[in-house]
Amino acid sequence: MPLITYREALRHAMAEELERDPNVVIMGEEVAQFNGAYKVTEGLLAKFGPKRIVDTPISEAGFLGMGIGSAMLGMRPVMELMFFSFYSVAFDQIFNNAANIRYMSGGLINCPIVIRGPANGGTNVGATHSHTPESIAAYHPGIKVVVPSTAYDAKGLLKSAIRDNDPVMFMENTMLYGETGEVPDEEYLVPLGSAKVMREGKDISIIGHGRAIQMALKSAEMLKHKHNIDAEVVDLRSIRPLDEETILASVRKTNRVLLVEEAKPFCSVSAMLACIIQEKAFDYLDAPIRRVTSVDAPAIYSPPLEKEQLPTPQKIFDAALAVLK
């Protein structure tokens, strides 16, 4: 299988869907002429032309509103946020209009829009550009939330998201754009709502999403080498819909749980997972559930401190040992 980057995988997904369905359009700041602020849409304008690849003003509320309106009318827009942090400029459009229109219309109107862009810290872009709003988005019924951690999943999930008839918040990670992974030439889809066991283990389940999963895999190797601990690593891939079965099966198998994520701890995805696990697998827990998240503060601008704010393989390693104590 060819090795391609996470960035290329996203681009391939969009190109294939643009090819497949004439209703698919790409819109966002700098997506066309500049080839994308992070070069995810590079070459798409040349290939598909300005009617399909559209530059927008710096006006998230306006262009996301336009995208949502076009989706209601049958288009399948893929909206790029230069930074996912800017979603909040269009909060009303996304969470009031897009999220509720199918319900409000009695099922007559769908809103098949994808809102994608990087949602991560660790790049020294400051508190206003480093939000990780998975839990905020997933809070809203009607919204789907997807967070790929590998090139393979980035492509397969984005294609599924574009074909999905509901609004999908597709959260990428600039730190992963350059990471390579095996991606098959032939077409494939990764369904929304299916978690993936990235590494099999019997002693502890490390469950999370996004870049934290890549760290967890490193921690799992450390646990194996230093303590002969077999950690199972489960990548949620999709926050909503959530694959509870895979999560609970892993918990029932290992009986000990460490939750990891890059987001802040308060009301986060891991907080929700902890609730679900204790509710549905209480009798399988042999120790309290622990979490590794970002330090609960605005994203720190100082690069050395920001590094400390985020999860690290060492922090996950230490927390796993604490769960296993």
Cβ distance to other proteins smaller for residue 185 or 283? 283
In the complex, minimum distance from the CB of residue 288 to other proteins, in angstroms, rounded to a whole number: 8
Find the binder of other proteins among 75, 89, 272, 285 (CB under 8 A). 285
CB 151 within 8 A of CB 9: yes
Interatomic CA distance for residues 257 and 323, integer angstroms: 7
Binding segment for other proteins (CB under 8 A), chosen from 125-133, 157-165, 202-210, 283-291, is 283-291
139 binds other proteins (CB under 8 A): no
Cβ distance to other proteins smaller for residue 157 or 258? 258
Cβ distance to other proteins smaller for residue 266 or 282? 282
Give the closest residue to 211 by CA, choosing from 179, 181, 182: 179
**Other residues' Cβ atoms within 10 Å of the Cβ of residue 141:** 9
In the sheet with 53-55, reading across from the earlier edge strand, the strands are: 53-55, 24-28, 76-80, 114-118, 168-172, 144-146, 238-240
282 binds other proteins (CB under 8 A): yes
**Per-residue tokens: 310:** 């985020």
180 binds other proteins (CB under 8 A): no
CB 98 within 8 A of CB 71: yes
Cβ distance to other proteins smaller for residue 127 or 285? 285
**Per-residue tokens: 232:** 């199972």
Verify whether residue 261 is a known catalytic residue: no
CB 7 within 8 A of CB 118: no
266 binds other proteins (CB under 8 A): no
Q: What sign for the dihedral angle of Cα 175, 177, 206, 146?
A: positive
Interatomic CA distance for residues 183 and 170, integer angstroms: 19
Cβ distance to other proteins smaller for residue 248 or 285? 285
Cβ distance to other proteins smaller for residue 127 or 324? 324
CB 296 within 8 A of CB 286: no
249 binds other proteins (CB under 8 A): no
Task: Say which DSSP state 98 is in.
Answer: I
Distance between the two ends of the chain, CA-based, in angstroms? 41
271 binds other proteins (CB under 8 A): no
Binding segment for other proteins (CB under 8 A), chosen from 7-15, 64-72, 120-128, 284-292, is 284-292
**Per-residue tokens: 258:** 């460490």
248 binds other proteins (CB under 8 A): no
In the numeric block, the tokens 């999403």 are attached to 209
Find the binder of other proteins among 287, 295, 312, 313 (CB under 8 A). 287
Question: Which residue in the list 60, 80, 261, 306 is annotated as catalytic?
Answer: 60
Find the binder of other proteins among 218, 255, 276, 321 (CB under 8 A). 255
Binding mask 197-236 for other proteins (x = CB under 8 A): ----------------------------------------
CA dihedral 237, 291, 250, 151 (to 10 degrees): 20
Verify whether residue 19 is a known catalytic residue: no
Binding segment for other proteins (CB under 8 A), chosen from 108-116, 138-146, 225-233, 280-288, is 280-288
Residues that bind other proteins (CB under 8 A): 255, 282-287, 325
Residues noted as catalytic? 60, 129
